[in-house]
């Protein structure tokens, strides 16, 4: 095959030419990996069943994911299977591995179907991969009986057929019926057409809120300044150093500077805050942020 052939074709060709393992050889390789972490044994086991991984991956091409990516996810599932396989259980590795391969590819498809998470529970996964098939079957059966199902009846029967809650069917129907759109797409044709992102509500503060906040802040600063002026100079200094600095000073450092004990500085600070609280309460103000 040419070297410029698509990667998935080259991988498929290599997988088809890999050795076929009989049950005994497969079991010996599994023991070698499990018990001795023999990487050569793991390599032979993975290569021998890569054709199985590619076969499973190919069944999911209709979901629009690149085949190369599907094969890579299938290969990861195959490696997980090899790491967890217990040859003592007496089953063939292919029987065990196919579940891990399919689970890995399904998770990849669901993750990449939409920017919005399509589903993660077992019921959501069952709906994602079976809903359209089950819906078509139910519609054929109803038509054969001469019966017409409305949307609600159809959703109820899908829920019963798949064995999931009706709410899950309704949710998955909505997710599968839509598609992702860019917020930078124009809402209408023409130079004056707004982009969808322009229609999003601004989470930032609105003008009215900004004006109100600025007024309240100015009022509070005035109350604080007035309350501070009623305190003795020493208490004002302690509060400025303890509450208004970017890096508040410790009681111990202030005590050393003022010739007081640490406990005495704490008492003066508490007394000053009490006086300011009373002054602000008299004006109808609050000092919660300052007093914390």
pTM, to two decimals: 0.46
DSSP 8-state symbol, 250: P
Sign for the CA dihedral angle at 184, 188, 194, 200 comes to negative
Question: Cα angle at 201 between 200 and 206, to 5 degrees?
Answer: 150
Percent of the chain at pLDDT > 70 equals 75
Task: Enter the tokens of residue 15.
Answer: 């997988």
- Counting Cβ atoms within 10 Å, is residue 143 exposed (0-12), middle (13-18) or buried (19+)? exposed
Token pair, residue 177, equals 């019926």
Instruction: Round to whole Å and give the CA distance between 145 and 158.
Output: 17
283-287, long-range: CB < 8 A, 24+ apart: 283/223, 283/226, 285/219, 285/220, 285/223, 286/220, 287/224, 287/227
For residue 164, the surrounding DSSP H or E stretch is: none
Query: In the predicted model, what is the mean pLDDT of residues 10-16?
Result: 76
Calculate the dihedral angle through the C-alpha atoms of 264, 267, 272, 277, rounding to the nearest 10 degrees. Answer: 170
pLDDT at 244 over 70: yes
Q: Answer positive or negative: Cα dihedral of 23, 28, 29, 33.
A: positive
CATH 1.20.120.1810 fits 7-113, yes or no: yes
Strand partners for 195: 186
Task: Record the tokens describing residue 20, joined without a space.
Answer: 């076929």
**CA separation for the pair 93, 22 (Å, rounded):** 11
**163/208: higher pLDDT:** 163
Residue 269 has pLDDT above 80, yes or no: yes
Residue for token pair 């063939």:
92
pLDDT (tens digit, 9 = 90+) per residue, 199-213? Answer: 555 555 556 666 666
Token code pair at residue 108: 């990849």
Mean of pLDDT values over 159-168: 82
Pick 210-291's CATH classification: 1.10.10.10, 1.20.1250.20, 1.20.59.10, 3.40.640.10.
1.10.10.10
Which pLDDT score, from 0 to 100, does residue 208 have?
A: 65
Could you tell me which residue, 174 or 162, shows the higher pLDDT?
162
What residues have CB less than 8 Å from 292, skipping those under 6 apart? none
Least confident of 52-61, 158-167, 207-216, 229-238: 207-216
Cα–Cα nearest to 288, from 220, 218, 209: 220
Whole-angstrom Cα distance, residue 187 to residue 193? 6
Collapse the DSSP code of 192 into the 3-class scheme (helix H, G, I; strand E, B; otherwise coil) and give the result: coil
């Amino acid at each position: 095959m040419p070297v410029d052939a698509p990667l998935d074709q080259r991988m498929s060709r290599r997988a088809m030419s890999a050795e076929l393992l009989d049950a005994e050889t497969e079991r010996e390789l599994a023991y070698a990996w499990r018990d001795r972490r023999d990487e050569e044994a793991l390599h032979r086991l993975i290569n021998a069943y890569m054709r199985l991984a590619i076969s499973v991956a190919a069944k999911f091409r209709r979901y629009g994911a690149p085949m190369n990516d599907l094969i890579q996810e299938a290969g990861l599932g195959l490696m997980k299977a090899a790491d967890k396989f217990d040859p003592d259980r007496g089953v063939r590795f292919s029987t065990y591995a196919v579940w891990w391969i399919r689970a890995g590819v399904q998770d990849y498809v669901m993750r990449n179907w939409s920017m919005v998470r399509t589903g993660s529970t077992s019921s959501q996964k069952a709906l994602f991969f079976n809903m359209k098939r089950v819906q078509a079957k139910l519609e054929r059966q109803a038509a054969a009986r001469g019966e017409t199902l409305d949307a609600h009846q159809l959703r109820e029967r899908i829920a019963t057929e798949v064995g999931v809650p009706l709410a899950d069917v309704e949710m998955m129907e909505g997710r599968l019926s839509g598609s992702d759109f860019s917020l930078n797409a124009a809402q209408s044709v023409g130079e004056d057409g707004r982009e969808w992102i322009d229609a999003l509500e601004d989470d930032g503060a609105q003008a009215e809120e900004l004006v109100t906040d600025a007024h309240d802040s100015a009022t509070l600063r005035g109350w604080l300044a007035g309350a501070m002026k009623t305190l003795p100079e020493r208490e004002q200094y302690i509060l400025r150093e303890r509450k208004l600095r970017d890096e508040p000073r410790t009681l111990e450092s202030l005590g050393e500077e003022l010739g007081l004990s640490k406990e005495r500085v704490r008492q003066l600070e508490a007394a000053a805050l009490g006086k300011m609280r009373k002054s602000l309460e008299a004006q109808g103000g609050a000092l919660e942020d300052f007093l914390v």
